[in-house]
């Protein structure tokens, strides 16, 4: 099997990057891609440290022009945005249409768009009074948080939540959902059609909403069962 060459772009601590690295290690030879590059727009991003620790080449993106060149130099097939806070320039989104995914920590399109990242997204969810939040994985286009949705996993908003407690619960769900979505895209099980839609439902059937009282192993098994 030819594995996709994956670049992960991240601006923050890189806990999602770590989840991707760990999941690919756990599934071993059946992984559909290799993370060959971790890049950040911030020199102090924890993601760079995590990438280096895993033996992955790391780099800093200085400007939009650098990004195109960097991805070309590393012969990247698939780009993963894992907490990357810069808008991706249109030449890159076009070149990687259907080959670039992002994880957003809230339902889309309701809680997305410019400025709706991190605590801002969680605050907006809490202010709206909805009972469910949860991560959304989607293909990336030239508009923030706008591309076709691959997967969403509902995570309950609990009584007394603030943006931090909700963020922590959603992040646990992200760490379980995102690697599985990446595997599905890298293997070709899920793709973007000419019409801009996602080729196949990601879950069949839908998994139960994220249950915070379960262990990660139980929740991961639940997702795997729903993926068939
Ligand atoms: C995550 O909440 C993700 O949904 C968002 O940015 C955050 C990144 O966190 N896009 P980390 O750097 O992966 O810990």
Q: Structure tokens of 214?
A: 């379960």
At 72-117, the pLDDT tens digits run: 999 999 999 999 999 899 999 999 999 999 999 999 999 999 999 9
CA distance 177 to 206: 13
Q: Which residues are catalytic?
A: 104
CA distance 170 to 105: 6
Structural domain count, the chain: 1
Q: What are the phi and psi torsion angles at 218 (to 5°)?
A: -65, -45
Q: Which atom of ligand 1 is nearest to the CA of 171?
A: 2
Q: Which atom of ligand 1 is nearest to the CA of 11?
A: 12
pLDDT tens-place values along the chain, 228 residues long: 799 999 999 999 999 999 999 999 999 999 999 999 999 999 999 999 999 999 999 999 987 778 999 999 999 999 999 999 998 999 999 999 999 999 999 999 999 999 999 999 999 999 999 999 999 999 999 999 999 999 999 999 999 999 999 999 999 999 999 999 999 999 999 999 999 999 999 998 999 999 999 999 999 999 999 998
CATH code, 86: 3.40.50.170
Range of the domain at 14: 4-227
| Closest residue by CA, ligand 1 atom 8 | 83
Ligand 1 environment, Cβ below 6 A? 10, 12-16, 82-83, 103-105, 171, 174
Packed helices 163-187 and 15-27: angle between N→C axes, nearest 10 degrees:
40
Q: Which atom of ligand 1 is nearest to the CA of 18?
A: 13
| Closest residue by CA, ligand 1 atom 5 | 83
| Closest residue by CA, ligand 1 atom 1 | 83
CA distance 6 to 155: 28
């Amino acid at each position: 099997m030819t594995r996709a060459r994956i670049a992960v772009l991240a601006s923050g601590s890189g806990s999602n990057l770590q989840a991707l690295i760990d999941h690919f290690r756990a599934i071993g030879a059946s992984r559909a891609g290799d993370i060959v590059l971790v890049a950040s727009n911030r020199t102090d991003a924890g993601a760079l440290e995590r990438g280096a620790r895993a033996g992955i080449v790391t780099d800093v993106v200085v400007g939009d022009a650098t990004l195109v060149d960097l991805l070309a130099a590393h012969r990247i097939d698939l780009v993963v945005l894992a907490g990357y806070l810069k808008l991706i320039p249109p030449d890159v989104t076009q070149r990687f249409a259907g080959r670039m995914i992002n994880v957003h920590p809230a339902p889309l399109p309701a809680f997305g768009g410019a400025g709706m990242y991190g605590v801002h997204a969680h605050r907006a969810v809490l202010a709206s009074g909805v009972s469910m939040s949860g991560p959304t994985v989607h293909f990336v286009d030239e508009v923030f948080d706008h591309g076709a949705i691959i997967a969403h996993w509902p995570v309950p908003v609990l009584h007394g939540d603030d943006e931090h407690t909700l963020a922590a619960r959603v992040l646990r769900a992200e760490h379980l959902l995102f690697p599985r979505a990446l595997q599905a895209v890298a293997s070709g099980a899920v793709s973007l059609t000419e019409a801009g839609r996602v080729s196949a439902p990601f879950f069949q059937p839908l998994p139960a909403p994220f249950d915070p009282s379960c262990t990660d192993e139980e929740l991961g098994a639940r997702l795997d069962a729903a993926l068939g």
